[in-house]
C-alpha cells in the first residue's frame, strides 16, 4: 500500500544531520502503518568524472588532509574555472546515471522508495566544490535532476544545529572547513524550493513526527486512535 504518499521520498541534508538514521526510522514507522516501503541510497562512483578528478589531484585541486585518525577530502575547483565547469558537466551526467541505475528501477506502484542520498545532494556537493553557489538556482539544477523530471517525488530537508553536528561521533566533521558553507547552502535552498524542513536538534521521535506530518501521515495514539501529526 502507498496511499496518497509520493512514490519517491528524498531525505536530504548536509553531513552530520542524521539523514540515514531518520530515513531508516521513517521507513519503519510507515511499515508499521501498513505502507510498503523500500530503502534506497544513490551515492555513486564518479563514472565520467574520474579522469578529471585524477587531473585535479595532479594539479593539487583535489587533496586530503589528515587530522589524527580523521581524513577530510577537498575539491578546490574554484581555483580553476575551466576545470570547475568541466566538473559541473560531468557530475550532472554522473548524477543522472546514478538516478537511472540506482533509483528509477526501484520505483514500483503501491510502494514508497525512501532515499537518503540522491541528485539533489550531488548539486550541493558540486556547489561547495566549485564555489558556484548559485548553481542550484539555474537550469543546472534541472539538468542534475533530469532523470526525475517525470517522477512524482518529495524532498525532506533535514536540518541540525552546526554545533550539534560537530559534536557527533563523525570526528572528520570537526575538521571540515567547508561544512559551515554546506549547512548554509542547504538552508538557503530548502527555503527557496519550499522543501519541508525537518529540525533534528531534539529527540529522534520528534524528528520522525515532523517527517510524518510533512507526508500527511496520521500518527497512531497509544489508545489506537488516529489523529493528525
Domains of the chain: 8-227 (3.40.50.300)
Task: Name the pLDDT band for 60 (thresholds 50, 70, 90).
Answer: very high
| pLDDT tens-digit readout, 146-174 | 999 989 999 999 999 999 888 878 888 99
**pLDDT given at position 168:** 79
Q: How many Å apart are CA 35 and CA 29, to the nearest integer?
A: 9
On average, the pLDDT of the chain sits at: 90
Instruction: Say if CB 130 and CB 56 are below 8 A apart.
Output: no
Q: How does DSSP assign 136-175, residue by residue?
A: GGSHHHHHHTGGGTTS-EEEEEEE--HHHHHTSS-GGGGG
Q: Edge to edge, what strands does the sheet with 112-115 contain? A: 37-40, 112-115, 8-12, 153-159, 197-199
Task: Summarize pLDDT for 126-147 with one digit per residue, the tens.
Answer: 999 999 999 999 899 999 999 9
Least Cα distance to 195 among 205, 206, 187 occurs for 187
Whether 13 contacts 173, CB under 8 Å: no
Nearest to 165 by CA among 181, 184, 155, 179: 179
Amino acid at each position: 500500500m502507498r496511499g496518497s504518499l509520493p512514490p519517491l521520498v528524498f531525505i536530504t541534508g548536509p553531513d552530520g544531520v542524521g539523514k540515514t538514521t531518520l530515513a531508516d526510522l521513517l521507513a519503519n514507522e510507515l511499515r508499521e502503518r501498513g505502507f510498503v516501503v523500500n530503502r534506497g541510497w544513490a551515492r555513486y562512483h564518479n563514472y565520467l568524472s574520474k579522469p578529471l578528478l585524477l587531473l585535479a589531484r595532479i594539479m593539487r585541486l583535489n587533496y586530503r588532509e589528515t587530522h589524527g585518525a580523521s581524513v577530510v577530502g577537498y575539491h578546490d575547483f574554484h581555483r580553476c574555472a575551466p576545470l570547475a565547469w568541466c566538473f559541473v558537466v560531468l557530475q550532472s551526467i554522473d548524477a543522472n546515471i546514478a538516478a537511472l541505475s540506482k533509483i528509477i528501477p526501484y520505483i514500483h506502484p503501491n510502494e514508497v522508495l525512501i532515499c537518503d542520498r540522491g541528485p539533489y545532494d550531488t548539486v550541493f556537493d558540486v556547489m561547495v566544490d566549485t564555489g558556484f553557489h548559485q548553481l542550484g538556482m539555474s537550469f543546472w539544477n534541472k539538468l542534475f535532476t533530469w532523470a526525475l523530471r517525470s517522477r512524482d517525488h518529495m524532498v525532506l530537508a533535514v536540518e541540525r544545529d552546526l554545533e550539534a553536528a560537530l559534536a557527533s561521533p563523525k570526528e572528520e566533521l570537526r575538521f571540515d572547513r567547508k561544512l559551515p558553507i554546506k549547512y548554509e547552502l542547504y538552508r538557503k535552498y530548502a527555503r527557496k524550493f519550499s522543501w519541508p524542513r525537518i529540525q533534528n536538534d531534539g529527540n529522534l521521535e520528534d524528528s520522525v513526527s515532523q517527517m510524518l506530518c510533512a507526508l500527511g501521515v496520521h500518527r497512531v495514539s497509544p489508545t489506537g486512535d488516529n489523529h493528525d501529526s
